[in-house]
Structure 1
Amino acid sequence: MTQEIEVKYRVFDEDALLAALRARGVVLSAPVVQDDQAFAPVGWRYGMSKRGVPFGRLRTQGGRHWFTVKRPVSNELVCVEHETVVADRGQMHGALLVMGFVPTVRIVKSRRVGSWDDATVCVDVVDGLGVFVEVEALVAVGGSGEATQERLHGRVCSLGVPVERVTETYDSLLRAGQG
């Protein structure tokens, strides 16, 4: 089993970011729109810790739907994650409600994806928030999420572009109204 480790940054100069990524050989995909509905367990509220709590997500992209469950381990951006394609978003939404999840925040973004050595880079334009870059790596469960985050952080800093590190997920940022 693996855990997804990510670092996330608010981007102040998208053109500079894209040029710096290109200079390092990162080729980004064409933009795709992702329409995500986040879910939390009944009784969980924003402001409470996310560590150890399972969260659901329904994503639609290009007419296909995915269900993902993430359980943060040491912080919001170090998660055990499971994901699968679902045939019917509406039926999966209903199943999540029956399982004790409630919808929280809708996140719509345009995403471009590329590979950077052993990591995945996502450049996101998030409705209501702006431009972000995420760098993600997969590590065996039990591996140090924080050490991996620091390694990825160093990689982003090496780009030399104006960014601000963010430690929350998009749903938390949207809920807090930080645009």
Structure 2
Amino acid sequence: MSKKFAKQGSHYTAVVIYFNTWLDFFCQNHFLRHSYILSVTLHKDYGYNDCAYLIFLRLKMNALNLAIKEALLSAGNSKEVNKAYLEFIKANFIIPIEQSTDEEQPKVLFLQENGHVFLPVFTEISYLNSWALEIAEEIKLLKLSGVDLLKGLGDDVTVCLNIGSEIYKEFNPSEITRMRSIVLKLFKK
């Protein structure tokens, strides 16, 4: 991949997948949604006319997504979890807001269910676009740093990061409180 297209801080993974039939490929297409197919190789020389290998590139693994993935894989190892919290604090977020919102007093879109409040937050525009497909005309976007997001959150809000993505994560109120304490420690120094 040329440096022109490689984004610093992103994780790129090349994957090879084998499908028995084209139907298998189409059934698995939801998995390839955020990928770019590099090549398709049909293996007619082996008599498998309907078989193919696909090589594709998975994108959108920024530092926060990668840290979350590592924390999840580590089964809650505190070092990996704290790294994910630090990446959250350093990250920039895209938040859907109401279209009719005053720019100085934006009204974010909260989801409420069974007395719980959820805030959809995204690190990549492609994740937001997938989620907001049906309401795209009714929203605007607000961009905030992790620190500013933490400052503006209520006490009982759960942050839903990258809804619909392969690394979806909910940050519950106790995790938000933990990240706020990290911010306070960082700014005291």
What range describes the TM-score normalised by the shorter chain of this pair? under 0.3
More strand per residue: 1
Query: Under a length normalisation based on structure 2, what TM-score does the superposition of the two structures give?
Result: 0.26
More helix per residue: 2
Q: Please tell me whether Structure 1 or Structure 2 has the larger radius of gyration of its CA atoms.
A: 2
Higher relative CO (Cα under 8 Å, sequence separation at least 6) belongs to: 1
